[in-house]
Chains A and B, each alone.
Chain A
C-alpha cells in the first residue's frame, strides 16, 4: 500500500514525460496542468494509505 506513495515521485521527477505543449486544457499547456493534476492525485493516494493506519487522536 505504501508503494502508492512512490507514484508522485515517478510522475513528477521523470520530466521528459510531461515537458509538452499539448494537449492544452483551459489555455494551460500540458506541462502546467499535468503538474497541477498531481496535487489532487497525490492527496487521494495519501488518503488511501492513511486509511490503513489506526486513528491515534
Chain B
C-alpha cells in the first residue's frame, strides 16, 4: 500500500469528519428534550426513535467498521467459509421479529434501561442481574477496541503514521457522546450509513468492470486459493457444521450485546422493531457485497502485508484519490457510531446494575445520567489504552470470547419472556456452566472458535459458543427440575 500523505483524500476525509463532529455536539438539541439529565434521555434518546431513525441507528451500530474490514479480509484469506456472515445476518431478523418486541414491551412498561434490569425485574435475583451485567460490560470492551482497529486501518491508508489521529478522533467522540448521549450516534448514523452505501454500491458496480466482471473475479479468487493450497469458492464437507453453527450462534448472540439492545430499547414502539426486522436486511445485502471485495482483492492482484488491508488497498488502487478519501472517511465514521453506542450501553449497565444496585439505591434520574456520562468516558479511554498498549491479537481473542460469553446471557434474558418455568438459581448455574465451560474449551483449543465434537462414528467441528449455549440450557433445565422438586414436592 501507499503510505505517503494523500492531499485530496485527506481533504475529503477531514471535511466529513468535521461534519459529523459538529453534528455530534448539536445532537443534544435534536427532538428537543426538556432535559438530558436522565438515563432515559441520555442513554436511550427518550425511547421514541421511529422506524427510520432506528433503522439507521441499529444498522450503523450492528454492521460495524470492524465488520467492513474483517469480513472481506476473512473472505480474502479463506473464501466461502468467511461468508457465514451472510446467513448469520439473515436469520438474525426472524429472531429479532419474534423476540425483541416482547423484550421492548417489558422494558418500556417498567422503565428498564438494560438487559440486567429486565432480568432483575423478572427474577428478583441480584446475583443473576450481576452475571448478566458483568458479561455485557466485559463482552463489549474488546468490541469497542475492535472499532479502533477498523478506524486505524482507514487512518493508516490515508498515510498517517502513529497513534495520535486515533487518539484525537476518539477524544472528540468521547466528548460529544458525553454531552449528547445516544442522540449523537443516532444522528451521525444517518451520515455514516449513507456514506457506506455510496461506497459499497460504487465499489461493487465499478470495480468488477475494471477487473473483467464477476465471473472473472470468482475465477481469479479460485486460482489464488488453488495456488495457495487452502480455501476455496465452496465449502469443504467438513466445514458444513462449522459454517451453520457459526451463523446460528452469531445470530443468537447478536442482539444480546448492550449496544444492539440499546437500539431496541430506544425504539418508540413494538411496531417500530417489527418493521425494522423487515427493513434491516437491506444492510445484509450490503454486507454480502462487501464480502465479495475479498475476492476482488485477488482479481486485482493486491500485494498485502495484512489481510485486513484488503479493502483499503482495493480503494487506493482502483479509486481516484478523492473518492478513496470519502471511502476512508466512511470507514472511520463507521467506527464512531458503534463505539459510541457500545460505550453508552456499557455505561447504562454500570449505572443501573452496579451503581444503583450497590452504591446508591436512591440515586435520582439526574445523578444516574451523571454517573453514566462519566462511565462512558472511562470505557472509551479504557478501550483506547488496550489498543495503544496491548497487542492487537489480545483484543481479537477477547472479542472472540466475548461472543461466547454474551451468548450465555440468552436463557436468563429471553426465556423469561415466554415461560415462567425457569428459576434464578437454575439460570445462574446454566450461565456459569456455559461461560466457564466454553471459555475453558476455547482456551485449551488455543483460542479457536471451533471445537471438534465426536459422538461414536460421527464427528464435526462446531462453534464453541453454540455448544456452550446447549450446555447452559441443559444445566439450567436440570438444576431447575431439582430446585422446583424441592420447592413443591407434591406438584412436581
Contacts and interface: CB of A to CB of B under 8 A. Distances in A.
**What range describes how many residues of B lie at the interface?**
35 or more
A29 B237 contact: no
B484 interface: no
Interface stretch (B87-95, B176-184, B303-311): B87-95
Contact of A12 (B216, B247, B269, B278): B247
Interface string A1-34: 0100110110011111001110010111101100
B207 to A, nearest CB: 13
A32 B287 CA distance: 13
A50 B278 contact: yes
B19 interface: no
B285 interface: yes
A23 to B, nearest CB: 13
A22 B50 CA distance: 43
Interface in B261-284: 268-272, 274-275, 277-279, 281, 284
Nearest to B239: A15
Contacts of B234: 19-21, 29, 31
Given A15-B243, A29-B218, A36 B86 contact: yes
Nearest to A55: B271
Interface of A: 2, 5-6, 8-9, 12-16, 19-21, 24, 26-29, 31-32, 35-36, 38-40, 42-43, 45-47, 49-50, 53, 55-57
A20 B235 CA distance: 9
Given A29-B233, A39-B285, A56-B269, A46 B93 contact: yes
A2 B272 contact: no
A52 B177 CA distance: 39
Interface string B186-198: 0000000000000
A46 B97 contact: yes
23 contacts: A2-B98, A5-B98, A12-B87, A12-B247, A15-B244, A24-B215, A27-B216, A28-B214, A29-B234, A31-B83, A31-B235, A35-B83, A38-B90, A39-B284, A39-B285, A42-B94, A43-B93, A45-B94, A46-B277, A53-B271, A53-B274, A57-B268, A57-B272
B337 interface: no
Given A26-B214, A42-B90, A47-B278, A57 B288 contact: no
A19 B235 contact: yes
Contacts of A53: 271, 274
Given A5-B97, A15-B243, A35 B217 contact: no
Contacts of A14: 244
* Main DSSP-derived SS at the B contact region: helix
B247 A13 contact: yes
Contacts of A42: 90-91, 93-94, 281
A17 to B, nearest CB: 10
Contact of B94 (A27, A31, A39, A46): A46
B278 A43 contact: yes
A53 B363 CA distance: 38
Given A15-B243, A29-B233, 6 more contacts: A27-B216, A28-B214, A35-B83, A39-B281, A55-B271, A57-B272
A37 B475 CA distance: 38
B91 A13 contact: yes
A14 B235 CA distance: 13
A24 B83 CA distance: 17
B397 to A, nearest CB: 27
B278 A56 contact: no
Nearest to A12: B87
B278 A27 contact: no
Contacts of A32: 83, 288, 292
A40 B288 CA distance: 13
B248 interface: yes
Contacts of B285: 36, 39
B49 to A, nearest CB: 12
B335 to A, nearest CB: 25
A16 to B, nearest CB: 6
A34 to B, nearest CB: 10
